[in-house]
Homo-oligomer: A and B are copies of this chain.
Amino acid sequence: MIKLKYDKQGLIPAIVQDYKTGKVLMLAYMNEAALKKTLKTGKMHFFSRSRKKIWLKGETSGHHQKVREVFFDCDADTLLFKVEQKGGACHMGYRSCFYRKLTGGGRSSRIVAKKIFDPKKIYRKNR
């Protein structure tokens, strides 16, 4: 494995981008094991900082992310994944987690995307 810089918690941020549209879908964190699992399976795995465990993106929703290309930055402390996103990346029902725009110089915000699924239906079973 090439040498990457993980933080004190052993994590590295991973930006996930739709390989076709260029839309930035989400940012989450990986430890080295999550990265290895991602590279081995071709499906995005992250490390949950709250649950302290590796999770497969889409394990509940079925909204997997298939890896197409992986890049890393000049400081080797950030990863960029280009993926095929099945369904929506966001647990709130949106294609991208970045569905809100800052307005009014940062004093307010506005939803700028449409929901593509109903999170209550998708996540009902396990929550």
Instruction: Please list the residues of chain A having a beta carbon within 8 angstroms of any beta carbon in chain B.
Output: 1-2, 13, 15, 17, 21-24, 26-27, 35-36, 39-40, 69-75, 78, 80, 90-92, 94, 97-102, 105-109, 112
- Taking a contact as CB atoms closer than 8 A, the residue among B15, B35, B91, B92 that contacts A106 in the complex is B35
Contact yes or no, B92 A2, CB < 8 A: no
> Min CB distance, A99 to chain B, in Å?
7
Contact yes or no, B91 A74, CB < 8 A: yes
Docked pose: A42 CA to B96 CA in angstroms: 24
The SS class assigned to the A binding surface is mixed
- Taking a contact as CB atoms closer than 8 A, the residue among B40, B70, B78, B92 that contacts A74 in the complex is B92
Contact yes or no, B24 A24, CB < 8 A: yes
Q: Which residues of B contact A102 (CB under 8 A)?
A: 2, 39, 70-72
Q: Which residues of B contact A108 (CB under 8 A)?
A: 2
